[in-house]
Structure formats: structure tokens, C-alpha cells
Amino acid sequence: MTNPNVTPSRLFNSPPSLSDFTTLCSRTTDPATYPLASSIQNNIPVYDASGPAPPPDSTTASKLQDEWHHILASGPGAFVLKGMYDEPALVDAATAAFDRIIAREKEQQNSTEKGDHFAAGGTNDRIWNSFSKHALEDPVSFVDYYSNPWLSLVSAAWLGPGYRVTAQVNVVRPGGVAQRPHRDYHLGFQEDETSALFPRTAHLASQFLTLQGAVAHSDMPLASGPTRLLPFSQLFEPGFLAYRREEFQGFFQRNYVVLPLEKGDGIFFNPALFHAAGTNETADFRRSANLLQISSAFGKTMESIDTVPLVERCWDLLRKKYLEEEEGGLLSVGVVSFVRAVADGYPFPTNLDKRPPAPSGMAPESEQEILVRGLKEGWGTERVVEELRRMRMDSAARVLGRS
């Protein structure tokens, strides 16, 4: 019995319990909990996302989001969207852009010098910040790719509005070995000694600041090494301190599950889920994915995204899309999805002397709100870029000295 006179430690002070971990990871997914899923495979719910758009009625969309949130927070921790990108030509166009970027970057530096996450540098072909590079390389496919309404629906389900999209392409060559089982950003990227200094509450909060995902840019048969997952492992509170320990690594290797994917499928998971990319055991097959790391407005992204050059490159295409799809001045689902992906929806931090809250609100205008206003008012590229740059200048810190 807990002594009521003893203040519990804010830190994890005892070694993580493999017994407790085993109990958590021995659960089974109940299909009745996720009635909108088309199937449950290896404890992972699978949803049919093929077709032109998410459910047309907001009630069904909200129910889907409820299921996804429960999966990530309290359930197996991962789910698959089959046919999330159901236009092969679009995926192929994006892949072609990625291949050009990879080839160009290889010419500019020795690929073995490029580091990687939880794998040896040079093992894979990797594009850091593929989000921004994609926009500058091929704005046409970029606009269509990030106008995907499923991406917006999933991101908002876990993170709410104002999320920030970042992405990194990972191509695993034949013979590429599996990653070490791990947890991801934020605390997953700290050394054990550093993670141990954060209070328990920070360990729990970390997982709610990021959504991990991937879009398959090639088929991913089992032999090619799709991501290995350990269902329910995100529920283990001291997991950020446990995943490097030998006994937990061994448990993962004995109990992970893996699902084959097809080109255009999406997979999303809680960043606290124990996971690892698998070994590509094929002789001649390159496994290709665009890895999505989507951050809460209240957290820090791993990569910096400069909205201005992306909007400058894509604005004419976005305006055309808006004019073709708008009804009564309202933005289409695709346009809304793109604006949410490319622009910051959170106006802080800022300089409140230069950018005070609007008279009718508590916050100044965000980048997303500037883009929406620009679309509705018919701005050209020069005007929208000017407005974004002015916002950035006015948001900069300025400490006024005495006159």
C-alpha cells in the first residue's frame, strides 16, 4: 500500500520491468472496438482508404478519427490506410522527383557520409527534408501529393489543428539490414542519461506531440522488410528508458509483427511504439517510402520548414486548384489539406508589439490564415510572398532600448 505521507518521485527511479512490458504487449485487438476498420491483421487495424476522398459526411469522418485516436493512445498503436494514395501516376511522379534529388545529392557528397536514424550511415538512400525539396523539384506533384485529404484527417485526429508536416524519404537497397528497435522523437532521440532527467509527465507527453507515418512508394512484400511493429508497446510508461536494454530488444525480436504494403498505402503509428524497419532480403528490389513526421503546434519539429519559397513555387498551382474546386468561396477539402501541410497554423512565438492579437481574438494571423485570405482575395505570387515575409519580419524579437 502506498504511503500517503511520501511524495512520489517525479522521475523513473527503478529499472523498467520486462514482466510489466510483457503483460501489456500480450493484449489482443478486439475488432468490435474499431467497427470502421475493414480488417484486423496481426493486431493492427486496416482501413480501406481507396477512392477519391474521405467519407463525405462529417459524422463518419469524426468517428474514424475517434477510432484512430483510440488506436494510437490506448490500442495497438498503429493502423494502415490501404489505398491512401490511389493514383499510381501521382506516387510515381513523386518517386521520380525523389530519385532525381537522390542522384543529385550523391553527386554533391559521398553518400556514406550521410548519417541515418537507428541504422548505419550509407546503408540506405535517404533524403532529409524531402518535404521542401519535393516542392522545389516538382511543384505539380507536390501540390497534388499534399492535397491528400486522408493526410489531413489523420494528422488532425492525433494532433488537432495547426500541425506541421515534415518528411524524409528512405530507400532501402537489397541487403539493407534491419534497424534497431526503437522509439522515436522527442525522447526517443535522447540518450538514456538525458531521458532519465525528464519527469514522468514529459515521458507521457512526448508521444502526444508527434505522429509517425509513411507512404509506400513501392510495393513492400515481406521479403523487402516493411516496418516491424510491437502492438501496445506505446502503453509502457518507461519505454523511452527501456528500448535500448538488451532484454527489451530481445522481446521485440521474438514478438514483433509486420504487414506487407502496396504502393500508395499509408501506415501511421504512435512515436512511442517500439518499431524498426526490417531487412531487405531481396536480391534486386528497392523498398521505398516517404516517411512522415508530423508535429503538434505545441511542439518543436525535427526539421525546419521555410514556408515562403514553397508557397512562392506552388502559389499559381494552388490558386488554379482553388478556382477549379471552390464552391461559393469555400475551400475544397484538397486545398484545405494542402494549406494545412505547407503553412504554419500556429502564430506563436511572435512579437506582440508588432503583431498584436486581432481585435476579435486572442492571437494574430497565422501563415495558414494569410494563405486562405490570399486565395479568397485573388492575390498573385508577389503579394502572398510579401505578406508572408512581412509577417516574419514583424514576428522577430526586437527589444526597444530607452530613447
pLDDT for 118 equals 47
pLDDT for 7 equals 76
Q: Compute how many other C-beta atoms are within 10 angstroms of the C-beta atom of residue 39.
A: 13
pLDDT for 113 equals 57
User: How many helices, marked H, and strands, marked E, lie in the chain?
Assistant: 14, 11
Q: Which residues pair with 258 in a beta bridge?
A: 228
pLDDT for 403 equals 43
Q: Which residues pair with 213 in a beta bridge?
A: 268, 292
Stated as kind and residue range, the H or E segment containing 179 is: none
Q: Cell numbers of 81, please? A: 490506410
pLDDT for 232 equals 98
**Could you give all domains of the chain from N- to C-terminal order, each with its CATH number?**
18-295 (2.60.120.620), 307-395 (no CATH)
pLDDT for 57 equals 75
DSSP string, 65-95: HHHHHHHHHTSSSEEEEETSS--HHHHHHHH
pLDDT for 114 equals 55
Angle between helical axes of 307-325 and 130-137 (0-180°, round to 10): 60
Indicate the residue type of 186.
H
Paired sense of beta strands 44-48 and 78-82, if any? parallel
- Mean pLDDT by runs of 10 across the 403 residues of the chain is 74 96 98 98 97 77 96 98 97 98 89 52 83 98 97 97 97 94 95 95 97 98 98 98 97 98 98 97 96 96 97 98 91 96 96 87 94 97 98 86 49
